[in-house]
Amino acid sequence: MNTTGRYNEPPSTVNLGTDIDDFPEFEPFRDDAEDSEEDGEPEPRGPGELSVQAVDMCRHINMPKHRTQAYVTDNLVVRRGQEFVLHVTFSRSITPRDRFRLEFLIGSNPAIQKRTLEWVTFGTRDRGRWSGRILDSRGPRVVLGVTPRADSIIGRFRMYITLIYKWGLKRTRRNPDTDCYLLFNCWSVEDAVYYPDEPGRQEYVLNDNGVIYMGSRENLLSRDWVYGQFERGVLDACIYMLDACRMPITTRGNAIHIVRKGSAVINSQDENGVLVGNWSENFSGGTAPTLWTGSVNIMLQYANTGTPVRYGQCWVFAGVFNTFLRCLGIPARVISNFNSAHDNNGNLKIELIFKSDGSADMRNTHDSIWNYHCWNEVFMRRPDLPPRLSGWQVVDATPQETSDGLYRCGPASVVAIKEGLVGHAYDGPFIFAEVNSNVIYVTRDKYGNDIYTYVDKRLVGTGLFTKRILVDKADDITLTYKYPEGSVDEEKAMQTAESFGLARDQPAAADPAITVTLSVDQMELGMDVELKVELHNRGDAALTVKALLTCAVVFYTGVVSNRFKSEALEVTVAPDKKETVLVKIEAEEYLKHMGFQRFLAFTLVGSGDSGGLKAVKVVYLRAPDLQLKVSGVQAVGQDMFVNVSFTNTFKFPLYNVTVALEGPRVMSNRQRFYNILQPQASFNWKESFVPETMGKRTLVAVMSSANLCEIWGKIEFVVEDKLHVEEASD
């Protein structure tokens, strides 16, 4: 677009590397331009005129006060809505007649009206949005206090000190050392992302390590994830992401816009974002989603190459998004929703279609239930919505469906989801369906006609979990999303959602006289699995059930990878009685079909008179953990060691074994490869490292092989202060 004939250029969308066109160093006032030299730089007139000798951004004073000392950067990092100090050394003591101001610039063509240029003045003529005050002034050294507004644009600012003389302006020269990063501030009541208590801020903004829940509700597995938001380069990578998706600088102070844009740029759809999704079993040309230890490598690779990183699945999208959010100072956490509905056509029902012989009709089934799905929550005020909808908001970076034209989702108020208020921005209907859809079992006859045979209203959104604040335990937050199943309030929320246009078909499916329950006790990978089929005849006549039981390995998205067993059942159940059938699946039967997957799904579908009988049971099979041990003197500057070990307790060898290890503020990602690990064989992998800062630290390891993955391990340890160790050694 050529815009010479328009004032309104396309907005500035680049923050990093935009210092080329800053204001001139010398800017004579036009009124008395005749007085000044036509060429050359006007010098300050006379020895008494003020000039700037040195500027100190006071990182060591400001960053602890702004809780930003963990960021590994060379520049000042501060939070908006809170004062920070600068030391300026002038050529002489300043007097009330001296006039100067600070100029903070962001993006190209910064301007006062666009809030991309902020002036800070230090006198009675204070007109800037950011306030300034002189805190101390002894001789030529002056201590200045600057308070950016709590709704300022966030990002990397350039700073100039501008002296105002009678003849014009003189600025300090461009100096990248005086650039500073401005972040969201959950400690400031005025900031839209204010979080009301300190433990929450410690967890949701400052914790650079976390847990993502997987598996199933009954068999909750925790996978550690290194957020690593303070590691060198990560803050710049976050700003690069906003630049890459061309987010206008002027909108970067608005938390709603930042998180919505973030949910779009984490996935590579639409704007060449960070991560390429891959839900196949072929991860060649990239890293398997199961092998990542955390976000840092992904974000640095993206920022360095500018091309999407291969590959992600939902927890990777959620993990990287969480790093992005915490790094910018927005309180954020990762949520896992078990049996998450992916409703393809917005009718609040998941239609699973079967052929008349009881086998699944894969071709015509478009909806799906993911065994689990991960998304993020951010904590913020929503000035665009009724006040009670502020607080936690759902955002989802996994590319599932487009929202107003792009792959992105949210922010949607969690309270609004619970109340069924799905008309508010953004994407309420899709998220409401993820936790509230009914599952409809449909039998399609040979002419293509559909018969609804069974409705399960309780399967979807069976539980939502997140890591507890500062504790390594799961918090069940299901009741923040849904009223209890069957309650009056739940029905009211469903009706509210319907009033916003969410169509809830109420298919008429007869209440079956016979019901079936599937259960499994043993869930260890490599062991035989015994499925218990319990049939309950609630009628007053004996019934003979004919059904087809199908056993399959499935993806975590619920999609069948391999169907390995099919068994016809015929059982007669006396009136008002239960009958139990045990079906044994031997380890050999399923192991050769597992591949990358860890889920088994059992589907029972009745036929003939028992056509209404439907049941699904999905089981996650556990495996042993990696073992981690640390040794050496656990203190800053000392050599330390970590040992990662694993013994193959299975009866089969593991091929192409990759192990990865990482610890935020301890060690960047390292990997080791083993061609084969025979049954009963072990590996012991020792790495050394030198801790640079004190405090509680975590190391996380993952293992992935051609025929087994999702093997995890971690260790926590405390690094002592350097000084403290020397005292102890006396």
Positions annotated as catalytic residues are 314, 373, 396
Helix (H) or strand (E) holding 565: strand 560-573
Q: Is 389 in the site for its own copies (CB under 8 A)?
A: no
Query: At closest approach, how far in Å is the CB of 153 from its own copies?
Result: 12
Q: Which of 16, 469, 509, 559 binds its own copies (CB under 8 A)?
A: 559
Q: Is residue 457 helix, strand or coil?
A: coil
Interacting positions 328-357 with its own copies (CB under 8 A): 342, 344-345, 351, 355-357
Instruction: Please report, for residues 302, 376, 665, 690, the alpha-carbon distance to residue 633 in angstroms, rounded to integers and kept in the order given.
Output: 36, 38, 17, 10
CA distance 306 to 549: 49
Q: Is 3 in the site for its own copies (CB under 8 A)?
A: yes
Task: Look at the block and give the residue holding tokens 């190209």.
Answer: 108
Q: Is 233 in the site for its own copies (CB under 8 A)?
A: no
Q: Is 673 in the site for its own copies (CB under 8 A)?
A: no
Q: Which of 281, 528, 570, 588 binds its own copies (CB under 8 A)?
A: 281
Q: Which of 91, 364, 390, 480 binds its own copies (CB under 8 A)?
A: 364
Amino acid at 547: A
Instruction: Please report, for residues 87, 101, 418, the alpha-carbon distance to residue 95 in angstroms, rounded to integers and kept in the order given.
Output: 17, 14, 61
Q: Is 264 in the site for its own copies (CB under 8 A)?
A: yes
CA distance 536 to 578: 4
**Across the beta sheet with 682-689, what order do the strands follow?**
627-632, 640-647, 682-689
Contact 367, 442 (CB under 8 A): no
CA distance 432 to 343: 10
Contact 60, 54 (CB under 8 A): no
Please report how the helices 255-265 and 314-328 are oriented relative to each other, as an axis angle in degrees rounded to 10.
150
Site map 192..231 versus its own copies, x via CB under 8 A: ----------------------------------------
Q: Is 368 in the site for its own copies (CB under 8 A)?
A: yes
**Which of 140/346 has CB closer to its own copies?**
346
Site map 63..102 versus its own copies, x via CB under 8 A: ------------------------------------x---
Q: Which of 26, 119, 483, 683 binds its own copies (CB under 8 A)?
A: 119
Other C-beta atoms within 10 Å of 356: how many?
A: 13
Q: Is residue 85 helix, strand or coil?
A: strand
Q: Is residue 567 helix, strand or coil?
A: strand
Q: Is 367 in the site for its own copies (CB under 8 A)?
A: yes
Query: At closest approach, how far in Å is the CB of 7 from its own copies?
Result: 4
CA distance 498 to 481: 17
Total number of residues shown for the chain: 730
Q: Which of 60, 97, 127, 584 binds its own copies (CB under 8 A)?
A: 127
Q: Considering only CA atoms, which of 359, 155, 356, 120 is closest in space to residue 240?
A: 155
Q: Which of these segments, 193-201, 268-276, 460-468, 700-708, binds its own copies (CB under 8 A)?
A: 268-276
CA distance 14 to 202: 31
Helix (H) or strand (E) holding 274: none
**Which of 28/512 has CB closer to its own copies?**
28
Site map 518..557 versus its own copies, x via CB under 8 A: -------------------------------------xxx
Other C-beta atoms within 10 Å of 586: how many?
A: 11
Q: Is 6 in the site for its own copies (CB under 8 A)?
A: yes
**Which of 387/448 has CB closer to its own copies?**
448
CA distance 665 to 166: 51
Query: At closest approach, how far in Å is the CB of 30 from its own copies?
Result: 7
Query: At closest approach, how far in Å is the CB of 2 from its own copies?
Result: 4
Q: Which of 81, 262, 294, 558 binds its own copies (CB under 8 A)?
A: 558
Q: Which of these segments, 2-10, 410-418, 633-641, 660-668, binds its own copies (CB under 8 A)?
A: 2-10
Q: Which of 76, 221, 276, 571 binds its own copies (CB under 8 A)?
A: 276
Q: Which of these segments, 42-50, 440-448, 615-623, 633-641, binds its own copies (CB under 8 A)?
A: 440-448
Is the backbone peptide bond immediately before 674 cis, with ω within 30 degrees of 0? no
Q: Which two tokens stand for residue 707?
A: 């025929």
Q: Is 499 in the site for its own copies (CB under 8 A)?
A: no
**Which of 10/64 has CB closer to its own copies?**
10
Q: Is 8 in the site for its own copies (CB under 8 A)?
A: yes
Contact 174, 71 (CB under 8 A): no
Q: Which residues bind its own copies (CB under 8 A)?
A: 1-8, 10-11, 29-31, 99, 111-114, 119, 125, 127, 164, 248, 250, 260-261, 264, 268-269, 276-282, 311, 342, 344-345, 351, 355-357, 364-368, 383-384, 399-402, 404-406, 446-449, 501, 555-559, 561
